Structure 1
Amino acid sequence: MCSPEEALLQLEEAFLATLALVNTHILQPLLLAGDPSEPRAQECLQLLRQLHRNSLQLWHLTQQSLQSLHRRLRQPRTTGLESLLLLGSADRILQVHLEYIESYTSCVVVQVFQQVAKRKREYWHTQCRLLQKHLSGVSFEGPVDALLARLLHQPLAQHLQQRVLHLLRLRDTLGEGHPAQELVMNATILHGNLQSFLQQALDQAAATQALWHSLSSRPKDLLCTPAHCLLQDSQDIPVTVTPLRAERVLLFDDTLVLLQGPSVCSFDLRLVWVRPAQDRCTLCILTPEEEFSLCARNPQGQVVWQWKVCQAVCQALRGKKDFPVLGAGPAPSKPPACRSMAYTFRAEGRLCRATYEGEWCLGRPHGKGTLKWPDGRNHVGNFRRGLEHGFGIYLVPKATEDKFDCYKCHWDEGRMCGYGICEYGSEEVYKGYFQAGLRHGFGVLDSAPQAAQPFRYTGHWEKGQRSGYGVQEDSNRGERYIGMWQADQRHGPGVVVTQAGVCYQGTFQADKMVGPGVILSEDDSLYEGTFTRDLTPEGKGKITFPTGFTLEGSFGGGTGRGLYTQGVLDTAALPPDPSSTCKRQLGVDAFPVESRWQGVYGPFWDFVLAGCPGELQEALLGFHVQSPRELRRSQDYLSCGRSCPEDEAGKMEDTLEELLRHREPAALRQHLRQALSSARHPLGKLLRTLMLTFQATYAGIGANKHLQWLAQAEVKQHACELWAAYRGLLQVALQRKGQAPEGESEDAETRDLQAHRLMLPLVLPSFYSELFTLYLLLHEKEDGLYSQGITNLSLFPDTKLLEFLDVHKHLWPLKDLRLTSNQRSSLVRDKCFLSATECLQKIITTVDPREKLEVLEKTYGEIEATVSHVLGREHKLPMDDLLPLLIYVVSRARIQHLGAEIHLIRDMMDPVHMGGLYDFLLTALESCYEHIQKEDMRLRRLPGHWDLRDLC
């Protein structure tokens, strides 16, 4: 009796010879038997070629197995059992056998052998009789097509059975603990599983082949493909379909099919979800476009259908049949609820003929995906329950070539909602908020650069129209409108600032000014009354001239007649009207500062009230993108420099943790500085939007002195709102830690003090350029007089200037110089009180009002220190002595635009300093400023020995 290894050798030799015979007498002739004139001949030929290739692979595998057995038997002492291919190459054995089985069953499913046998029946009888002499165990009775099919699978089935028996014998000969025992056992299990798999595949193929005979021609032509292998038929286990109508339900290994007469409705199993119903006999089926139920006659039938459909879905998602048998794959038997797949919608509606590729959940697009329509529209982004939800980019092609609208927005249930950027084919660009698909809330709309009427609107929107407070610049007319809107038209109080310097304020209705208003000309002439559209006074009114004269009466005009009036001209020398400055400041009472930009603050507070969820930060606070114009030039419409949404939750947690760690005053100031400077921090995002609104209002054409009060009030309000925003974030951070809210009862006065003391110095640099420009323009006249005074005083040498300013001589810092008067004059020119002068010059190196006041305090300290050194003792200067010395230091410091600096400090200083030392020093500086403005008149009245030409 031969050993198990010798028996395996003989088995492999016999199988190799069988494969060679089958290949020579069956497969090769089959490849030559195709008739290209038949409709399905090409498909049959492709399947036969694949079967032939797989048969050759099986032959090569068997030959290599045979060779490994020969080596083992020749050199048993040096070659271990692990060298046998049957034991050491399980993956390769499995792959080759599965590929052969799949190609064979595909031929059976589409009835390849029946079609071939029709043409040369006698020839195939002859070939089978030749093979009968060499093959045993194969039945040669029955139709030719059945015989051909048996010749291609029975030898393999018998060979697998014999292999299992011989491997079991080999295992029995090995002793306990033999190192190869596990290898042999694994190989035995593998071949046993191959047997089971082959039998299951044969049964399914036979059932599928039999199915075609029961179908009419149209369903058969549509369904008879190699990919379809029948798993379950409702004629075996009956089910009814509701609400859809179907006579028969067929479950293939890749498709679920409903038949109703000649109509066929098929569903890709990769996009089929199974959900049990409350009724134990009912099974719910979810697909991208249909939802229906399969109702069995009893619970047992429902269980079978549910199990089979679930296993088939799992198998379809893996892309290969389960091994060893259906339902025994490596993945869980329950299909995943979330999948990634492509699908083209067929039903009428907004998605008709659109293709979605991406993530699905329970029959609906859910997660990241791309939706494309045949007309060129496509949406890339996030979906939820079948609708666009979250961030997405939507492209809509225009009629013109290479033009389309690009929407980079956040979406809510299929409509734009939250922050977004839209670049239109017309080259208009909108950046702002949406609601229900329409512009709603704060937003900025830019016209195309080459538009016939270029404009920019920055402000509030309602249901797609400009409504509420907003600013629009008309470049063609050189005008900027600041005020209220309704239904896309100027409506309500408004201010118009022109490039020519003329401004007017009044009430607008339906885009036209109605009723009385105010006109301010470049020379500060003020008209109050009614006027025409071209700003010509008409009707009752009053003109106040820069000199203080007034003209009140009725005004009129006509073509070529100029302006005429009938009224009263008042030239009486009245004292200056304290309200004259207020009258020349526009918009102060018309637009309450706390209500101007609520569309900017609103989304931030929505974010805070929601608990600062990281996933909503982009939708409510906006995202950072590169320049829209750059995107247009590069055509890179699908790029967007956004932070990764998956990281936002973690970043928000870190942000709130930082707030809790920096609550001490010193640490808080530094932390707020960093937060406000960061484009990713909620406070930084809010500040950047406020900067955008400020620039849109007060830069360029808006740089008008008559808007200074409007601007400075806005900056203070922003500081208060940002302080409140910080407090709101802090409360959320405390709540997340389960701690009690801090300072909820903080009154308005305390809140305003904190905003001025802590927040205003931090945010002022962001608005300083535009704000200081307005101060410069408003105080240009006074600063001009001041500059002339500085120029005149700079001609004085130190001693002459000190004497001219009536500084007591015992305070002059000259007594330590033992020089002649000429030497002394030469050496000390512009050197007296040098430390104080250099200190005061630092007032322009900072924008923080408090730091400017600290510079002023140090200047005062330097003056006193110099005087104390001169006197040789500690000395406190009274006001009468301080003022002339301070005038001297100011004149030598030569600070430009000192009037604008003083007024900005006065307006922005911390209220807590009112009436204190800083207030006193600032008042003294104001007195110096006013004194220097008057020096030109004083110098003209000097006696002849004070002639300026002699002072040098």
Structure 2
Amino acid sequence: MTAFARPGSGAQAMCSPVETALLRLEEEFLTALARINKHVLQPLLVPAPEPLDVQGRECRQLLQQLQGSTQQLQKTTEESLRSLRKRLRLPDTVGLESLKLLCNAGGVLQVHMEYIECYTSCMVVQAFQKAVKWRPSEYWQDKQKELRLLLRGVGSEGPVGTALAQALRQLLTHHVQQYVRHLLSLRDTTGEGHPARELVVHAAALFEDLQSFMRQALDQAAATQALWRSLDCELRDALCTPARRLLQDSEEIFVMVSPLWADRVLLFNDVLILLQGHSVHSSHSFDLKLVWVEPEQDRCMVYLLTPEEEFYFYCKKSRDQVVWRQKVTQAVCQALREKKDFPVLGAGQEASETPACRTAVYTFRAEGHLRQATYDGKWWRARPHGQGTLKWPDGRNHVGTFCQGVEHGFGVLLVPQASEDKFDCYKCHWLEGSMCGYGICEYSTEKVYKGYFRAGMRHGFGVLEITPQASQPSRYTGHWERGLRSGYGVQEDGDRGERYIGMWRADQRHGPGVMVTQAGVCYQGTFQADKMVGPGILLYEDDSLYEGTFTRDLILTGKGKITFLNGFTLQGSFSHGTRTGLHVQGELDTAALPPDPGSTYKRQLGLGAFPVESRWQGVYGPFRDFVSAGCPGDRQEALLGFHMQSLKELRESQEDLCCERTPLEDSVDRMEDVLEELLQHREPEALQQCLRKALSSSLHPLGKLVRMLMMTFQATYAGIGANKHLQELAQEEVKQHARELWAAYRGLLQVALQRKGQALEEEEDAEKRDQQVYGLMLPLMLPSFYSELFTLYMLLHEKEDSLYIRGITNFSLFSDTKLLEFLDVQKHLWPKDLKLTSNQRHSLVKDKCFLSATECLQKILATMNPWEKLEVLERTCGEIEATVSRVLGQEHKLPMDDLLPLLIYVVSRAGIQHLGAEIHLIRDMMEPIRTGGLYDFLLTALESCYQHIQRDEMRRLPSH
């Protein structure tokens, strides 16, 4: 008979017999729980008369947890009971959906599951049996009356502890069983249209699942308890934990293990144990979080992978193989979720395979560089793969990316040193377990290396610096081979005040080299095994020249020849005494004429000794390899570098070391954007803007290349290297960088076109290429090198410029009219409104006397682009002609005889500092195609003005 009428009728509010039965069930269960708490748990938790051992303390803790879970179950049952009573008391106003058992079915279920877990943990380790012994047997005899109510239906002949455990199990199973029966009845008697229909159906399904879950949990606990009783004490003590449950035993379903050997296989919910005899030390234990079940390859075999072992289970019957595979797979998946499956995995819910990717912690035991290291991170098929951290007992700490079990990708390694709180820090890209690509290494000895690695050693271009705070600061910028300085490089010795520029082999100076000292002395010669050998050239700051042999400290010794600035020569045998100074036996020649200045103070070193094409191959090489490989995005950071925490920050946070950095944002997509932008900007004007943007960005391959070349340039020519005798060496280098950058752009463009299925057109000829290099690339990249380069030009032409400045100073003392008159400027070209007074220094009329041309010429200082400087010069000459045309009232083209004196006037009034350095830099950096053209003519005219102003007679002007 249904308790509910059709929906909407008044009879719908009536309570059913099922609800009444649920109320009685809750009342009985609540009473039973209170009785258990009072007569079982509280007595068991009374302090023992003697201190407890480890197992005793564990049992007490489990019983305390069970008591807490019991109290929570009591609270939940009371809430359910109140809602039932309210429903029975007010059926007209309180609906069925108000029952806690329905509206909060998930919460009620969770409390029951926690209680089941606590109870089965106590059951596994026999906590009841052990705790009973804490009270004398007389106590339990006195409590027989109270216990009899609990032990109804339970045999009382056995031990008290066992009976108590059985009583709690019976109470629990009966209660859940009655829940399921009443809820199913309620579901069947609740009409389809009833408001609470869905709640009832949901609650009934949940508690059916709970019944299945409880049955499995109790069965597993019983099997586990039986296993512990059957094992030796040593094995039991080593393996037994309250939360561990036996899932499968090879004594029930036989399985053979190979290539490992095992007498018995035990599958628990957290580990897989291969027992070999009765010794725990000869057994193998595998954490299930680190067990992978390979896809089925053989009907009778189950292949298993672990971090250090690979083995398989062999079953005689295919159905046995299915059971083991299913059980292991299910156990692994459950261990990874860190909780039991609910509902219990059954038909249609079996885990088909174990996750290939997961996160876990493991300490390696096998021999190898990972021995004793603890890895915490991501795994893929039993190998570290992805982001993770390695920690060794000796304090080494590596965090980064792994691939198939080895360091691969970006990573940071801290290596402790003997001194307290001292670490070597390696921030680098790794390839198959070794440093490879760009890296930054900061050592505890205050050394810092920034550069490329191969197979764990410095290889390619790199900078090794001993910080200025060290007692002997130094810096090497150059090429490395297998960890040693080899090839072209620059070494600065801060302690000796020297800079060596030249060739290296096996960490020693070997081959041609140039030595520059802080005192301005320069040496060029040959080195072998770090020592000067054979004759060399020594240039002093006053431009005296010595050719011969000398010591490492640049002291003259042996045969040689000195050429002084005045042309005198001293040739003979030189020696040096500690107290007596330099001794010379030879011939002094004073008859020679003074040499041409161009052959003395403009002597250049290094030319021909180091071919410009081979100087910085370690910088160009990685870029070429990157382009040849098709610009893969995953290699971009290894090429271009990164920004990382400082070593100090890493030392302070080494316990929580991480490899966070500022990398190229999504390098694969970024590289696609770079190549696409090059494709979209190929027209001359657009290309210029595109290249300007690229060269100014440190995240662009071309921009990064420029910055590395800037670093080499500064290391060579800044500071001690700012020596006038290196000017042509630097000029060669800048031009070569422009050629290499143009080739780099062409390489990137070729990759971009290949990705579109197109081909790059070959450049027509060398002249066309030079036009692009000198007309486009050189002006764009020159500002990056301008400061150091122009300094060398200034030093080289310092004497010329000093004479020029003295001439400018003399010219400034004269009025416009006096100067125009002195320069033989024809008077019909003078502005007509000049006041021809002898004491007038400047024109009183604005925009007259070529003021616009003077201001135009001064703009030559506002740009570093040689092409733009030439355009300024062209506009200056245009302004001069425009001024003359206004004076004459008609268009007038000035012949050179008239233009040159007017240009001298404008140059003198512009007062440009270091004009000689400006002229020579422009001429050296001009496009070859412009040689002999208009701009070459104008630059020659400007150079004539410069030379005219510095002549001796110009400094002996008549008094004004």
Fold shared, TM-score > 0.5 on shorter chain: yes
Note closer, same or farther for the CA distance 1:824–1:427 as it changes in structure 2 (3 Å cut): closer
Deviation of 1:46 after TM superposition, in Å, equals 1.2
Q: Is the 8 A contact 1:36 1:42 kept in 2?
A: no
**2:441 matched residue in structure 1:** 422
Note closer, same or farther for the CA distance 1:735–1:125 as it changes in structure 2 (3 Å cut): farther
What CA deviation, in whole Å up to 9, does each residue of 1:167-208 have, x standing for no partner? 222222222222211111111111111111111111111111
Deviation of 1:527 after TM superposition, in Å, equals 2.7
Are 2:886 and 1:869 equivalent residues in the alignment?
yes
Q: Is the 8 A contact 1:323 1:329 kept in 2?
A: no
- Whole-angstrom CA distance in 2 between matches of 1:625 and 1:307: 47
Are 2:47 and 1:28 equivalent residues in the alignment?
no
Are 2:647 and 1:643 equivalent residues in the alignment?
no
- Whole-angstrom CA distance in 1 between matches of 2:705 and 2:605: 26
Q: Is the 8 A contact 1:715 1:767 kept in 2?
A: yes
Are 2:391 and 1:409 equivalent residues in the alignment?
no
The 10-residue stretch of structure 1 (861-870 or 234-243) with the greater mean CA deviation from structure 2 = 234-243
Q: Is the 8 A contact 2:428 2:436 kept in 1?
A: yes
**1:186 matched residue in structure 2:** 202
**Match among 550, 568, 587 for residue 531 of structure 1:** 550
Deviation of 1:455 after TM superposition, in Å, equals 0.9
Q: Is the 8 A contact 2:489 2:502 kept in 1?
A: yes
Q: Is the 8 A contact 1:355 1:372 kept in 2?
A: yes
**2:383 matched residue in structure 1:** 364
- Whole-angstrom CA distance in 1 between matches of 2:474 and 2:706: 24
**2:258 matched residue in structure 1:** 242
Are 2:62 and 1:44 equivalent residues in the alignment?
no
**1:790 matched residue in structure 2:** 808
Q: Is the 8 A contact 1:418 1:435 kept in 2?
A: yes
**Match among 616, 631, 638 for residue 635 of structure 2:** 616
Are 2:277 and 1:269 equivalent residues in the alignment?
no
Q: Aligned to 1:321, what secondary structure does the other structure show?
A: coil
Q: How does 1:767-916 map to 2 (within 5 A)?
A: 767-814=785-832, 816=833, 821=837, 827-828=843-844, 832-916=849-933
Q: How does 1:153-232 map to 2 (within 5 A)?
A: 153-232=169-248
Deviation of 1:708 after TM superposition, in Å, equals 0.2
Q: Aligned to 1:32, what secondary structure does the other structure show?
A: coil
Are 2:164 and 1:148 equivalent residues in the alignment?
yes
Q: Is the 8 A contact 1:458 1:693 kept in 2?
A: yes
- Whole-angstrom CA distance in 1 between matches of 2:648 and 2:821: 64
**1:566 matched residue in structure 2:** 586
Q: Which runs of 5+ in 1 are unaligned?
A: none
What CA deviation, in whole Å up to 9, does each residue of 1:735-759 have, x standing for no partner? 23x2413224554442232111111
Q: Aligned to 2:429, what secondary structure does the other structure show?
A: strand
Q: How does 1:74-85 map to 2 (within 5 A)?
A: 74-85=89-100
Q: How does 1:111-510 map to 2 (within 5 A)?
A: 111-116=126-131, 124=140, 130-132=146-148, 144-261=160-277, 262-263=279-280, 264-276=283-295, 278-326=297-345, 333-510=352-529
Deviation of 1:602 after TM superposition, in Å, equals 1.2
Q: Aligned to 2:294, what secondary structure does the other structure show?
A: strand
Task: Report the TM-score when normalising by structure 2.
Answer: 0.93
The 10-residue stretch of structure 1 (913-922 or 563-572) with the greater mean CA deviation from structure 2 = 563-572
Q: Is the 8 A contact 2:566 2:595 kept in 1?
A: no
- Whole-angstrom CA distance in 2 between matches of 1:910 and 1:645: 36
**2:7 matched residue in structure 1:** none
What CA deviation, in whole Å up to 9, does each residue of 1:99-135 have, x standing for no partner? 1111111111112233345676676577566455577
Q: Aligned to 1:440, what secondary structure does the other structure show?
A: strand
The 10-residue stretch of structure 1 (72-81 or 98-107) with the greater mean CA deviation from structure 2 = 72-81
- Whole-angstrom CA distance in 1 between matches of 2:670 and 2:613: 31
**1:90 matched residue in structure 2:** 105
One-letter amino acid matched to 2:775: R
What CA deviation, in whole Å up to 9, does each residue of 1:698-745 have, x standing for no partner? 000000000000001111111111111122222222223x24132245
One-letter amino acid matched to 2:201: M
Q: Is the 8 A contact 2:523 2:538 kept in 1?
A: yes
Note closer, same or farther for the CA distance 1:47–1:824 as it changes in structure 2 (3 Å cut): closer
What CA deviation, in whole Å up to 9, does each residue of 1:497-551 have, x standing for no partner? 1111111101100011112211111122223333344434455544443344555
Deviation of 1:426 after TM superposition, in Å, equals 0.9
Note closer, same or farther for the CA distance 1:8–1:373 as it changes in structure 2 (3 Å cut): same
Q: Is the 8 A contact 2:565 2:594 kept in 1?
A: no
**Match among 546, 554, 573 for residue 565 of structure 2:** 546
Q: How does 1:659-698 map to 2 (within 5 A)?
A: 659-698=678-717
Aligned residues: 938
Note closer, same or farther for the CA distance 1:8–1:222 as it changes in structure 2 (3 Å cut): same
- Whole-angstrom CA distance in 1 between matches of 2:386 and 2:660: 20
- Whole-angstrom CA distance in 2 between matches of 1:803 and 1:68: 118
- Whole-angstrom CA distance in 1 between matches of 2:95 and 2:284: 58
What CA deviation, in whole Å up to 9, does each residue of 1:19-60 have, x standing for no partner? 223333323222238565453221111111111211222222
- Whole-angstrom CA distance in 1 between matches of 2:77 and 2:317: 49
What CA deviation, in whole Å up to 9, does each residue of 1:380-421 have, x standing for no partner? 211222222211111111111221111111112222111111
- Whole-angstrom CA distance in 2 between matches of 1:633 and 1:190: 52
Q: What value does the CA root-mean-square deviation take over the aligned residues?
A: 2.7
Deviation of 1:255 after TM superposition, in Å, equals 1.0
**1:19 matched residue in structure 2:** 33
One-letter amino acid matched to 1:22: I
Note closer, same or farther for the CA distance 1:27–1:682 as it changes in structure 2 (3 Å cut): same
Note closer, same or farther for the CA distance 1:453–1:133 as it changes in structure 2 (3 Å cut): closer
- Whole-angstrom CA distance in 2 between matches of 1:800 and 1:916: 34
One-letter amino acid matched to 2:610: F
- Whole-angstrom CA distance in 1 between matches of 2:565 and 2:651: 50
**Match among 547, 572, 589 for residue 608 of structure 2:** 589
Q: Is the 8 A contact 1:276 1:282 kept in 2?
A: no
The 10-residue stretch of structure 1 (71-80 or 496-505) with the greater mean CA deviation from structure 2 = 71-80
Task: Report the TM-score when normalising by structure 1.
Answer: 0.93
One-letter amino acid matched to 2:826: H
**2:946 matched residue in structure 1:** 929
- Whole-angstrom CA distance in 2 between matches of 1:330 and 1:315: 13
Deviation of 1:579 after TM superposition, in Å, equals 6.3
- Whole-angstrom CA distance in 2 between matches of 1:102 and 1:646: 48
Q: Is the 8 A contact 1:21 1:131 kept in 2?
A: no
The 10-residue stretch of structure 1 (130-139 or 391-400) with the greater mean CA deviation from structure 2 = 130-139
Q: Is the 8 A contact 1:715 1:764 kept in 2?
A: yes
Note closer, same or farther for the CA distance 1:130–1:624 as it changes in structure 2 (3 Å cut): closer
Note closer, same or farther for the CA distance 1:761–1:128 as it changes in structure 2 (3 Å cut): farther
Q: Is the 8 A contact 1:519 1:528 kept in 2?
A: yes
One-letter amino acid matched to 1:94: L
**2:5 matched residue in structure 1:** none
Q: Which runs of 5+ in 2 are unaligned?
A: 2-15
**1:72 matched residue in structure 2:** 87
- Whole-angstrom CA distance in 1 between matches of 2:65 and 2:394: 40
Q: Aligned to 2:668, what secondary structure does the other structure show?
A: helix
Q: Is the 8 A contact 1:128 1:140 kept in 2?
A: no
What CA deviation, in whole Å up to 9, does each residue of 1:227-252 have, x standing for no partner? 21100001111112222222111001
- Whole-angstrom CA distance in 2 between matches of 1:289 and 1:423: 33
Q: Is the 8 A contact 2:259 2:311 kept in 1?
A: yes
What CA deviation, in whole Å up to 9, does each residue of 1:211-230 have, x standing for no partner? 12321221111112112110
Deviation of 1:266 after TM superposition, in Å, equals 1.6
Note closer, same or farther for the CA distance 1:502–1:444 as it changes in structure 2 (3 Å cut): same
- Whole-angstrom CA distance in 1 between matches of 2:740 and 2:655: 37
One-letter amino acid matched to 1:910: E
Note closer, same or farther for the CA distance 1:292–1:35 as it changes in structure 2 (3 Å cut): farther
